[in-house]
Structure 1
């Protein structure tokens, strides 16, 4: 595959520190101060090969409670065998340091850092942090990987998101090695959208739950970052492909129609067909009230992990793949025999969901009514 051209900008200066080719640097970017006047800083490591090549950033915890990405970057930071043959790698384990310390998704002012880019040096706390991160990391890189998890009380089956009309984003998304790829610019002010607009094509990777470093999700992320670096010629090695790879052409959340306690019939990553039971809703005393069914053939992209719901709350996220379900099932059958490690993420996520067989007494509701 044709190599991505790197921008000519020697020497590399981040946070006022010059990083020469063939060296590593630990950098702290001051983004705020405590009530005591002490510095609050984003920690990052810059690794530069002797040979020129693309500059790639990997960021995590823009939402402070999304720890799987932190685990991914931490594994890369602790890996003594991580050696670049060309280019530059910028690793940022925690972007939202204030949210991370408080185990909170947002900043202390309740603003979402992932809606605050590219930021301003004279704006709100969120805007100032975004500006510092953007100017020092994005402006110095050619490509980016931004690691996320689902929101609170939800889980996501591993997937990659990006503006696939951009060839560089498409290449990153496919090289990462996720089974599922979703097209989209991202919300206004989000890191990947604004980085792309600034000339640094960036993908968003979604894996698992917040508040956890899930081993299978971390392994998936580490493998994906390595895949990208190998594909770009920045590292030696062989790319690890997924069992299959397809775009999601449409996705939708199915929401609870009534309140109660859910009994799930599917797990993240599972193939479902039109009319298939997804979850049954029961009263506290065990009376079945209704059943949510799938309105389409698709794949379970994500689910609530909280089994109690009120009307209108999200239950199951279904994506419609471009690839036929028969082809996906055939590919998965082969991978179970030849690549058992690839299926670890699917098995892990299934353990987070209490999955039971549908109750036969109550017929499944019409899909349009259930959704």
Structure 2
């Protein structure tokens, strides 16, 4: 764990203990030559402690994650009583401007890490983040959102057999912790290789801000900061309503027919085999197919699209805890 008794220099800007500063993360202008300002908000305490990085918006359409980091800043949670907190609410500003997942070059930022100084636009952003910001931090919390139309239960994703992340995940207190392998060229895998523990939070769906998901992310961040001795004493730390469920395996239930779809179960619900999950109908009132659970488990993702095609993923249900 780093101690902070001297000046922190990020992207050419120096921040002394006890200082606040907004540093501009600049990679390229828009195609109109208009400059793009991507502020990094840095808050330092005079008291030494760890450095925590909060990130969101790796995918431009995942606005719920952006909202979580925004609230951390707006409420002053990012002002530590010890150590340093760095907030990057929007990493993929180019996708966020257009509300698109990818960069203008069509690349997924979360598949090009650690990036390259002379590569594609997405690769250059990844390289700058990894070489000029991440080396200064001790912990990372990265906030994501589910895909378009598919609503994720608030959950953390960590690699199995990592005792440090397991402990931090229990402190965070999300309803679910899903064991998943670090994907090649992802931000999470790159941080792992650099020895930077990263908690990846998923919740909600694209283009949508959900209060329950947002509260889960904000409260989890507060618990981790409190655990690290960084949370200001003016903030209360809530105890999770239920102990988090650690998930080893899960399975998607897919549509057997195309048609109009309506789910009849709520996210986070625990199901038994044979329980009714929803139904698929046709626009002419001739068909009504009932979707039922083929095994017991918790629902961690629900497809909220009104129209589905045969083979589409409808429900993500745990199979092994």
**Shorter-chain TM-score tier:** over 0.9
TM-superposed deviation, 1:183: 1.2
Note the alpha carbon deviations across 1:147-177, whole angstroms, 9 max, x for none.
0110111111101111242222222211111
Q: Which residue of 1 aligns with 2:239?
A: 241
Find the aligned partners of 1:238 and 1:195 in 2 and give their Cα distance.
30
Q: Secondary structure at the match of 2:209?
A: coil
Q: Would you say the 8 A contact 1:61–1:147 is kept in 2?
A: yes
Q: Which residue of 2 aligns with 1:368?
A: none
TM-superposed deviation, 1:9: 8.8
TM-superposed deviation, 1:282: 1.5
Q: Which residue of 1 aligns with 2:196?
A: 200
Note the alpha carbon deviations across 1:15-58, whole angstroms, 9 max, x for none.
11111111111011111122243433421101111121111111
**Within the alignment, does 1:220 sit opposite 2:216 as a pair?**
yes
Q: Which residue of 1 aligns with 2:147?
A: 151
Find the aligned partners of 1:36 and 1:285 in 2 and give their Cα distance.
48
* Alignment counterpart, residue 19 of structure 2, candidates 6, 16, 23: 23
Find the aligned partners of 1:271 and 1:10 in 2 and give their Cα distance.
51
TM-superposed deviation, 1:215: 2.4
Mark the runs of 5 or more structure 2 residues left unpaired by the alignment: none
Q: Would you say the 8 A contact 1:253–1:317 is kept in 2?
A: yes
Superposition CA RMSD, Å:
1.8
Please state which structure has a larger fraction of its residues in helix: 1
Q: Would you say the 8 A contact 1:246–1:321 is kept in 2?
A: no
TM-superposed deviation, 1:238: 5.2
Find the aligned partners of 2:298 and 2:244 in 1 and give their Cα distance.
12
Q: Which residue of 2 aligns with 1:350?
A: none
Mark the runs of 5 or more structure 1 residues left unpaired by the alignment: 323-371
Q: Which residue of 2 aligns with 1:299?
A: 298
Q: Which residue of 2 aligns with 1:319?
A: 318
Q: Secondary structure at the match of 1:225?
A: helix
Find the aligned partners of 1:156 and 1:116 in 2 and give their Cα distance.
24
The correspondence of residues 263-274 of structure 1 with structure 2, limited to 5 A, is 263-274=262-273
Number of residue pairs the alignment of both structures matches: 318
Q: Would you say the 8 A contact 2:44–2:79 is kept in 1?
A: no
**Within the alignment, does 1:141 sit opposite 2:140 as a pair?**
no
The correspondence of residues 11-50 of structure 1 with structure 2, limited to 5 A, is 11-50=7-46
Q: Which residue of 2 aligns with 1:99?
A: 95
TM-superposed deviation, 1:309: 1.0
Q: Would you say the 8 A contact 1:51–1:87 is kept in 2?
A: yes
Find the aligned partners of 1:38 and 1:309 in 2 and give their Cα distance.
40
Q: Secondary structure at the match of 1:219?
A: helix
Q: Would you say the 8 A contact 1:299–1:321 is kept in 2?
A: no
| TM-score in terms of structure 1 length | 0.81
Find the aligned partners of 1:305 and 1:34 in 2 and give their Cα distance.
34
**Within the alignment, does 1:62 sit opposite 2:58 as a pair?**
yes
CA, structure 1 residues 276+151, in 2 after alignment: closer, same or farther (shift >3 Å)? same
Q: Secondary structure at the match of 1:83?
A: coil
Q: Secondary structure at the match of 2:215?
A: helix
Find the aligned partners of 1:233 and 1:24 in 2 and give their Cα distance.
19
Q: Would you say the 8 A contact 2:3–2:83 is kept in 1?
A: no
Q: Secondary structure at the match of 2:311?
A: coil
Note the alpha carbon deviations across 1:173-207, whole angstroms, 9 max, x for none.
11111121011233211111211111111011011
Note the alpha carbon deviations across 1:250-269, whole angstroms, 9 max, x for none.
11111111111123221211
